[in-house]
């Protein structure tokens, strides 16, 4: 293989693609705008320890992805016991639900309300649900929707559940019912476990980002190049309309036979020349949600046993909190402190995105004690704030028709592929993005279409025990 391929972005999708192309003998150049590789799944050093950008637990049901993980990571991982809970109404619910814990926390009257609401909904179902709210209410009833879905989902997406497309639920939660949930909780599911509910997970030593450092090193060992701090301004087309390279933000031009883009789809398309007005209009209708991560170093090693907790409480602004002390000794070594990471989701216009780091740190310190995860007298030694733009593509009602216009336009341009969470406008987990990268490489190498847009649209991807997974896991 002597094809020259440019890849924009050194996240899971981009580096997976680069790895396989370099392995096949292609000339590969990766251009990453930031100083780091790994994208949202990168790891970094903080206060003498190692952390990720929030919880990033690798899991896949796809043999191609699992085989690739083993090829890249080898034995350089540890098995971590998983404990995850939901914080709701000043109580902690095991996740997946444990009946005695759930019933005790909710109380008999609320449990009765849940059951009545569920059976009423079964008798009067919503035909052809269009929104996330309708989809969930149809399967769990209005009461359970209000308890375990509404607040967290609206924190994450910043719009009412009644404005979120039902596609979001279809991608994240298989067609379940409350009865199925209770049955699985009491009697199990004949040995089957959902991808987000396994009791253990394989975690790379030194953090999830280690996977992508290994990929980068492999690409370079095969003669490929990985440029960091190299932002791409636009993708170039020749007089025939074919993509033939990129222009960097410094004005430098680099030419190639193929371009694989993982940059935000809307920005990539708008940067092309002579884009039809209807395509630009479709891009303007799609938007992303931002994330703020606030890290706190606590002078304690025994705060709480969870890997992470979902916070379903309107009294605090953060939606998820990760305890990196519970992700293996490779992260903390001989340090006697705990690093927590609180996640806040917002748009750029929101006040929380624009306030300074000091105020965000104080907010996080207050909130983590308000929900009693950290004792009132605990000493908080340090804080650090990280802002991440365009982390979550928002599935507002009608997004699909706008996305289809963009997809059709991109498909009409030879020699360009758009992949990854940003690049395909898909709320991917790591394994989805890795699979996109691997199949994009296969398409370039073999010349056979791989239906990349269809990855992460199959509702069968999720298993039946994913009962309260409202897009919680990454």
| Tens-place pLDDT, residues 78-93 | 999 999 999 999 999 9
Least-confidence region, from 186-195, 230-239, 417-426, 459-468: 459-468
- Tokens coding 451: 């239906």
Write the CB contacts of 278 (distance below 8 Å, at least 6 apart in sequence): 405
- pLDDT (0 to 100) of residue 179: 58
H helix and E strand count, the chain: 18, 19
Of 131, 117, 46, 111, the closest CA to residue 333 belongs to 46
Assess whether pLDDT exceeds 60 at residue 67.
yes
* Opening angle at CA 245, ends 243 and 246, nearest 5: 115
Distance CA 440, CA 17 (A): 6
pLDDT of 1 > 80? The answer is no
What mean pLDDT comes out for the span 17-36?
97
Query: 179: alpha, beta or left, given left = phi > 0 and alpha = psi -120 to 50?
Result: alpha
Answer yes or no: are the C-beta atoms of 161 and 153 closer than 8 Å.
yes
Structure tokens that stand for 381 in this block: 């030694």
Chain centre distance of CA 365: 25
User: ω before 268 within 30° of 0 (cis)?
Assistant: no
- Dist. CA 28–CA 225, nearest whole Å: 6
Sign of the CA dihedral running 370, 372, 375, 379: negative
Q: Which of 140-144, 400-404, 429-433, 465-469 has the highest mean pLDDT?
A: 400-404
Round to whole Å and give the CA distance between 341 and 165.
Answer: 29
Is the predicted pLDDT of residue 473 greater than 90, yes or no?
no
Confidence of residue 368 (pLDDT cuts 50, 70, 90): very high
- Range in 33-42, 176-185, 186-195, 407-416 the model is least confident about: 186-195
Torsion sign over Cα 401, 278, 414, 39: negative
Question: At residue 173, does pLDDT exceed 70?
Answer: no
Please tell me what DSSP assigns to residue 195: T
- Please provide the average confidence, as pLDDT, over all residues in the chain: 89
Listed residue (305, 297, 320) closest to 87, CA to CA = 320
Q: How far is CA 185 from CA 94, 175, 189, 459, in A?
A: 11, 16, 8, 21
Q: What is the pTM of this model?
A: 0.91
Q: What percent of the chain has pLDDT over 70?
A: 90
- Give the pLDDT confidence score for residue 78 in this predicted structure: 92
Residue matched to tokens 């000043």: 90
Which residues, in sequence order, are bridge partners of residue 386? 293
pLDDT one-digit tens code per residue, 257-288: 999 999 999 999 999 999 999 999 999 999 99
Note the Cα 371 to chain centre separation in Å: 25
Q: What is the pLDDT of residues 322-348, one digit of tens each?
A: 999 999 999 999 999 999 999 999 999
| Tokens describing residue 474 | 């990454």
Residue 469 has pLDDT above 50, yes or no: no
**C-beta separation of 260 from 440 below 8 A:** yes
What helix, strand, coil percent values describe the chain, rounded to 5?
A: 40, 25, 40
């Amino acid at each position: 293989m002597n094809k020259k391929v440019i890849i924009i972005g050194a996240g899971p999708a981009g580096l997976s693609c680069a790895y396989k192309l370099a392995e096949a003998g292609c000339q590969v150049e990766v251009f990453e705008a930031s100083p780091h590789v790994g994208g949202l799944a990168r790891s970094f050093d903080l206060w003498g320890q190692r952390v990720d950008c929030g919880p990033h637990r690798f899991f896949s049901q796809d043999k191609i992805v699992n085989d690739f993980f083993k090829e890249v990571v080898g034995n350089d991982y540890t098995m971590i016991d998983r404990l995850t809970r939901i914080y709701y109404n000043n109580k902690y619910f095991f996740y997946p639900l444990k009946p005695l814990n759930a019933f005790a926390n909710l109380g008999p009257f609320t449990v009765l309300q849940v059951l009545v609401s569920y059976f009423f909904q079964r008798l009067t179902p919503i035909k052809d649900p269009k929104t996330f709210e309708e989809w969930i209410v149809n399967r769990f009833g209005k009461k359970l929707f209000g308890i375990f879905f509404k607040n967290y989902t609206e924190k994450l997406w910043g719009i009412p559940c009644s404005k979120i497309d039902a596609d979001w639920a279809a991608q994240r939660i298989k067609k379940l019912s409350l009865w199925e949930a209770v049955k699985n909780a009491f009697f199990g599911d004949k040995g089957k476990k959902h991808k987000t509910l396994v009791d253990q997970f394989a975690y790379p030593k030194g953090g999830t980002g280690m996977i992508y450092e290994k990929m980068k090193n492999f690409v370079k060992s095969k003669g490929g190049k990985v440029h960091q701090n190299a932002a791409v301004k636009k993708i170039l087309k020749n007089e025939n309309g074919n993509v033939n390279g990129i222009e960097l933000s410094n004005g430098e031009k680099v030419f190639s036979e193929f371009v694989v883009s993982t940059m935000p789809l809307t920005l990539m398309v708008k940067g092309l020349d002579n884009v039809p007005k209807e395509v630009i209009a479709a891009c303007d209708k799609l938007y992303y949600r931002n994330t703020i991560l606030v890290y706190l170093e606590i002078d304690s090693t025994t705060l709480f046993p969870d890997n992470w907790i979902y916070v379903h409480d309107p009294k605090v602004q953060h939606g998820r909190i990760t305890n990196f002390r519970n992700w293996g000794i490779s992260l903390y070594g001989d340090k006697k402190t705990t690093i927590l990471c609180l996640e806040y989701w917002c748009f750029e216009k929101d006040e929380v995105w624009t306030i300074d780091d000091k105020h965000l740190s104080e907010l996080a310190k207050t909130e983590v004690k308000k929900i009693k995860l950290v004792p009132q007298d605990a000493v908080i030694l340090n804080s650090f704030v990280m802002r991440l733009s365009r982390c979550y593509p928002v599935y507002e009602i009608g997004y699909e028709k706008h996305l289809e216009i963009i997809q059709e336009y991109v498909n009409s341009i030879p020699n360009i592929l758009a992949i990854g969470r940003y690049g395909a406008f898909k709320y991917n987990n790591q394994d989805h993005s890795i699979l996109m990268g691997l199949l994009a490489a296969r398409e370039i190498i073999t010349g056979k279409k791989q239906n990349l847009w269809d990855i992460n649209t199959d509702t069968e991807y999720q298993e039946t025990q994913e009962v309260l997974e409202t897009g919680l896991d990454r």
